[in-house]
Structure 1
Amino acid sequence: MRGTAVRVGAPLLLGVLALAGWEVLVRGAALPAYLLPPPTEILGQIRAIWDGLVDATRATGTNALVGLVVGALLAVVTAAVAARVTWLDQMVAPLVAAAAVVPIVALAPVLSNMFGATSETPRRVIVALVVFVPVFLNTLRGLRQVSPVHRDLMRSYAATPWQVTRTVTLPGAVPFIFTGLNIASSLAVISAVVAEYFGGLQNGLGSRIASAAAQSGYARAWAYVAASIALGLLFYGFTLLLERAATRRHTG
């Protein structure tokens, strides 16, 4: 109980101290709003635009969630197949390496032209692509960690390849899968926000940040940034809870 209180309380205390230092620095140095607005003004903007902030967070969160689920599922399935088929592994590896370096700024306008400016599909595709890379690489590494002795034992029991994968290979790779998901959860939100900068519906956090900054509403822009941070923490915390539940089920 005490350990949990420390793990929760220490980051909160550090956050409060950081915000207090931020406020003192901005007020004391008389920094202009375009450079860095004080936290109190940002909080005031959060209260003033609360309904719009919730709507924008919901839109970005939906895109990030859909992309995260689709990208993660595709990554796990592809890694499971690649771990068993050598030629597929050799073919997919360079494609994943290429996908890892595709810039969102170049891909987003292309996908928007393909699917239309009123479609959310381009943003979800971008999120799925960004998520796919860390989940695939970590899952594939986990699948390769399974001892050959365990596979040989299952084969001696006349287990099918799918039974070996389901009962031995995938359970052994669970920690690696969640390592990839922990990384991908934050990347999903970041990529969803960034993808909104390049056209399409003006309903998400990224487009609202760009619009507020263009209109010199710097505190309002930071309010949307704060919502993006909260959304990223929510996604990350949820994957940690899933990991804990899966670990307890596996060990129990």
Structure 2
Amino acid sequence: MASTARTLLAPLTLGVIAIALWQALVVALAIEPFLVPSPSGIAGAFADSFDRIVDAAGKTGLNALIGLVLGAVTGILVAIIANALRFLSQMLAPVVAALAVIPIVALAPVFYAMFGAAANTGRQLVAAIAVFVPMYLNTMHGLRQVEPVHRDLMRSYAATAEQTNRMVLIPGAVPYVLTGLKIGSSLAVISALIAEYFGGPANGLGIAITSAAAGSNYTAAWAYVLGAVLLGALFYGVTAGIEALSQRRRGGS
């Protein structure tokens, strides 16, 4: 418990110091809000627009969540199949490398053209592709970390490939899968957010930031940015909590 408190206290202390310095510099140098708004101004705009920010965060968060689930499930299943069929893993290597470097700015308009600008499908697929890569790579790495003696033991018991996967490979890969999920959670939010800049329904945080900035209401834009930060922190915190809970249970067993 004390270790967890220290882990949380350090970043919180740093954050408080950074915000205090930010506020002091803005006031001391009389920096205009259109350049850099003060933390107090952002907090005020956040409170004034709280309902709208929560609503927009819900829309963006739902797209990110759907993309996270879709990308995670697909990445895990493809990795399990590819691990069983080595020729398939070699075939997929350049595909995964290509997916890892495809810019979201190129994918989003294509998906909007395919599925229509009134649908959120494009945003969800962008998030799913972003999540797929770390999930696939981490799962593959975990599946290949099994000790050869464990494989030999399963062979000596005449275990089938399905039994080996279920009893040895997949349980051993769980920590790596959870690490991929933690990484993917942040990528899902970022991808869904950025995809909103290129079309689709005008109901998420990304379009809210764009609209506020276009109207020269930069303090409000920063308030929506704060909402995006909190949304990303929520996704990361939940997945990190799942990882910590899994480690505690594995340690207890």
Q: TM-score, normalised by structure 1?
A: 0.97
Contact 1:82–1:89 (Cα < 8 Å) also in 2: yes
**Aligned counterparts of 2:184 and 2:28: Cα–Cα separation in 1:** 39
Unaligned runs of 5+ in 2: none
**Aligned counterparts of 1:157 and 1:78: Cα–Cα separation in 2:** 27
Contact 1:68–1:128 (Cα < 8 Å) also in 2: yes
Q: How does 1:61-76 map to 2 (within 5 A)?
A: 61-76=61-76
Change (3 A) 1:250 1:6: closer
* Equivalent residue letter for 1:106: A
Identity %: 55
User: 1:128 corresponds to which residue?
Assistant: 128
**Aligned counterparts of 2:2 and 2:79: Cα–Cα separation in 1:** 40
User: 2:141 corresponds to which residue?
Assistant: 141
User: 2:221 corresponds to which residue?
Assistant: 221
SS for the counterpart of 1:119 is coil
* Equivalent residue letter for 1:136: Y
CA distances 1:188-211 after superposition (whole Å, capped 9, x unpaired): 111111000001111000110011
Aligned length: 252
SS for the counterpart of 1:197 is helix
Q: How does 1:87-98 map to 2 (within 5 A)?
A: 87-98=87-98
Worse-matched range after superposition: 205-214 or 142-151: 142-151
* Equivalent residue letter for 2:222: W
Unaligned runs of 5+ in 1: none
Contact 1:171–1:250 (Cα < 8 Å) also in 2: no
**Aligned counterparts of 1:216 and 1:247: Cα–Cα separation in 2:** 47
**Aligned counterparts of 1:189 and 1:147: Cα–Cα separation in 2:** 36
**Aligned counterparts of 2:133 and 2:166: Cα–Cα separation in 1:** 22
Matched, 1:247 2:247: yes
User: 1:14 corresponds to which residue?
Assistant: 14
- Aligned-pair distance for 1:159? 1.3
- Aligned-pair distance for 1:138? 1.1
User: 1:80 corresponds to which residue?
Assistant: 80
- Aligned-pair distance for 1:29? 1.3
SS for the counterpart of 2:198 is coil
User: 1:47 corresponds to which residue?
Assistant: 47
* Equivalent residue letter for 2:185: S
